[in-house]
A and B are shown apart, each in its own frame.
Chain A
Amino acid sequence: MLSVFESNSTFIWASYAVGLVLIGGAIATAWFKSRNAKAELIRIEARIQDQKRR
């Protein structure tokens, strides 16, 4: 499936591999950060509700 180019295959694939790592890392970081921030907010909101009830 991978294209084998007449010249510079290693350089071409290396550049796309760097892209995959950097962009993939950015997506993963954004996803984890967002998920953790949302979970923390929900946890604190639940604590406040709990405190109000008591």
Chain B
Amino acid sequence: MFSWFANPHRFVKLSDWLVPACYVLAAVGILWGLWQGLWIVPKDDYQGGDIMRVMFIHVPAAWLAMASYLGMAVMSFVWFIWRHEVADIAAKAIAPLGATWTALCLATGAIWGKPTWGTWWQWDDARMMSVLFMFFLFLGYMALRAAMDTRQKAARAGAILAMVGALNVPLIKFSVDLFTSLHQDASVITAEGPKMAAVYLWPLLISSFGHTLLFAALVMTFMRAEIWTRRAAQLRARLMTGD
């Protein structure tokens, strides 16, 4: 299966229709979630009143931040074992977008935290610090790749960092159970099932689905750009040598 997707030409052909489809479905999901979250669902006095409406952007951002890091680590693993170029291109494309969604998670979390906990940030909070660490891992991954003088070295160094850094993802997920945290416990993905009322849960799930599709569309757009850039570099080199 990996070999089938590993062909850049096949990927570009597949993404020709997949990218616009993802953008359209993402827009529907995100806008519907936004409309529900801001105008339709009732405020929850148990969760601090209207401020819980931040959930419809904060939670999808948090899920995607973690999922994108895992995605980058899996793609790095695939490159590391099978040396499939498309996997390396995918890992490289995920990094700046993962950093963006992690930044969104941190910023909206701080904005939600101020009226709820009375503080924007808590330096000894395990959830906040592990997510901040992941943000730096994304930035570190990009910096490390940029610092290498060949594409192979960049891919190898980046893959090792991405795979080792993946150990942080379960730490983020279970930080609220293992350590004392201002952050609330998990309320959607729990062993007993979602603890959230359906009126909030469905808009949250659909909004998250929309964010996921947008993220996928953006990753594919970045990947297409990288494939074209590498192809252009090959052709330019051929042009220089006169082959």
Q: Do A and B interact?
A: yes
Q: Which residues of A contact B57 (CB under 8 A)?
A: 15-16, 19
Quick check: A5 and B43 within 8 Å, CB to CB?
Answer: yes
Mark out the residues of chain A between 13 and 39 whose CB falls within 8 Å of any chain B CB in the assembled complex: 14-16, 18-19, 22-23, 25-27, 29-31, 33-34, 36-38
Mark out the residues of chain B between 109 and 139 whose CB falls within 8 Å of any chain A CB in the assembled complex: 111-112, 114-115
B221 close to A (CB within 8 Å): yes
Q: What's the least CB distance linking A22 to chain B, in Å? A: 5
Q: Which residues of A contact B112 (CB under 8 A)?
A: 11, 15
The contact size tier of chain B is 35 or more
Quick check: A45 and B50 within 8 Å, CB to CB?
Answer: no
Q: What's the least CB distance linking A1 to chain B, in Å? A: 9
Quick check: A14 and B221 within 8 Å, CB to CB?
Answer: no
Contact A34 to B54, CB < 8 A, known contacts A3-B39, A27-B218, A44-B239: no
Measured CB to CB, the nearest residue on chain B to A2 is B38
Contact A5 to B104, CB < 8 A, known contacts A40-B228, A40-B229: no
Using an 8 Å CB-CB cutoff, how does the interface string of B9-20 with A read, 1 for contact, 0 for none?
000000000000
Quick check: B49 and A6 within 8 Å, CB to CB?
Answer: yes
Q: Which residues of A contact B182 (CB under 8 A)?
A: none
Set A6, A9, A36, A47: member contacting B239, Cβ < 8 A: A47
Quick check: B221 and A30 within 8 Å, CB to CB?
Answer: yes
Q: Which residues of A contact B100 (CB under 8 A)?
A: 22-23, 25-26
Quick check: B58 and A7 within 8 Å, CB to CB?
Answer: no
Set B58, B232, B235: member contacting A15, Cβ < 8 A: B58
B89 close to A (CB within 8 Å): no
Set A6, A8, A16, A30: member contacting B222, Cβ < 8 A: A30
B224 close to A (CB within 8 Å): yes
B204 close to A (CB within 8 Å): no
Tell me the complex Cα distance, A36–B238, Å.
Answer: 20
Set A15, A31, A33, A48: member contacting B111, Cβ < 8 A: A15
B214 close to A (CB within 8 Å): yes
Quick check: B53 and A12 within 8 Å, CB to CB?
Answer: yes
Quick check: B54 and A12 within 8 Å, CB to CB?
Answer: yes
Closest 3 CB pairs of A and B: A5-B50, A37-B228, A37-B225
Q: Residues on A close to B: CB < 8 A? A: 3, 5-9, 11-12, 14-16, 18-19, 22-23, 25-27, 29-31, 33-34, 36-38, 40-41, 44-45, 47-48, 51
